[in-house]
Structure 1
Amino acid sequence: MTSTTTMNAALDAMHRERLMYLAREVTFEAGARMFEEGRRADRFWIVRTGSVALDLHVPGRRSAVIETLGHGELIGWSWHFPPYLWHLGAEAMSPVRAWEFDAEAVRVMCAEDPEFGRAIADWVGRVVAQRLHASRVRLLDLYAPYGSGGPM
């Protein structure tokens, strides 16, 4: 995980403040499912404490854990792109405290303030790119004949 995908590194103070205006503190117990792949993505979170595993449904097998996220990291990006359906699932691996955001309210703010919208789009885009890379590497490790081909 690169530090440029955390909210504090990705958004300047003014944009962070605008986003945090919509924040609501929530908690999840260890083992709680935050969302399921294919369901409606109507919110997202920034982790304050604890860890969250992102997983991918693999037919005929257990879901593959793609990445584990923690403090300051964005949980969920599918809310930003139509048709607003989760591309992965997420489960709290420990007790989690997080800031929760209503996706529609954030999309409205993005539409009303193009500079804010660009900053959010850039942040979410970097997160998507990083998660795509992590998913590819993890799936190669799990299912390719020779793993991801990394150093031995």
Structure 2
Amino acid sequence: MTKAIKLLTALPPPQRESLMALAREVSFPEDTRIFEAGGTADRFWVIRSGAVSLDQRVTSLQRVTVAALGAGDLLGWSWLFPPYRWDFGAEAFSPVRAYEFEAAAVLRLCERDPALGMTLVRHVAEILAHRLEMTRGKLMEQYGTRRRGVL
């Protein structure tokens, strides 16, 4: 399994500084819903401290956690791809402090600085690939355990 990519530390310093000029510090109390699947994806966050769970609604009353994110992790990538709707929901598992970025401002920055845009997209793609690998492993583990009759 590959190592998790931390977006801000993966960017070269000049590109990180340009991106951070657009950051706004925010916080979410524990148990706060940050976004819901299907909602408009018009921003993203880099978690500074705390924990966030990504979840998928299975029934009207049940959600399944698909990933846990912590310090340095990117929260939200749907802002980068049409139709710009969240694929998952997110909830603060503990008090969370984060840098928030407005997607439109970041996309304008990427148009002005194509090298930063390419680097950002490449790192987001690496993060998505890593999360897909982790999710696949969890599903294989869960499916294999259930298949053997352990659960």
- Same structural fold, with TM-score higher than 0.5 when normalized by the shorter chain: yes
Structure 1 alignment gaps of length 5 or more: none
Contact 2:6 2:74 in 1 (8 A): yes
Give the aligned residue type for 1:68: A
C-alpha contact (below 8 Å) 2:7/2:124 kept by paired residues: no
Q: Percent identity?
A: 44
**TM norm structure 1:** 0.87
Taking structure 1 as reference, are residues 19 and 148 closer, same or farther at Cα in structure 2, changes over 3 Å only?
A: farther
Matches within 5 A, 1:1-152: 2-3=3-4, 5-59=5-59, 62-142=62-142, 144=143, 146=145
Partner deviation per Cα, 1:82-107 (whole Å, 9 max, x = no partner): 11111111100000010000001101
Aligned length: 147
Contact 1:77 1:127 in 2 (8 A): no
CA RMSD, Structure 1 to Structure 2 (Å) = 2.1
Counterpart AA for 2:133: H
Q: 1:108 Cα deviation (Å)?
A: 1.0
Structure 2 counterpart SS, 1:119: helix
CA distance in 1, matches of 2:36, 2:135: 16
C-alpha distance in 1 between matches for 2:136 and 2:59: 17
Structure-2-length-normalised TM-score: 0.88
Q: CA deviation at 1:26?
A: 0.4
CA drift of 1:137 comes to 2.8
**Which stretches in structure 2 are left out of the alignment for 5+ residues?**
none
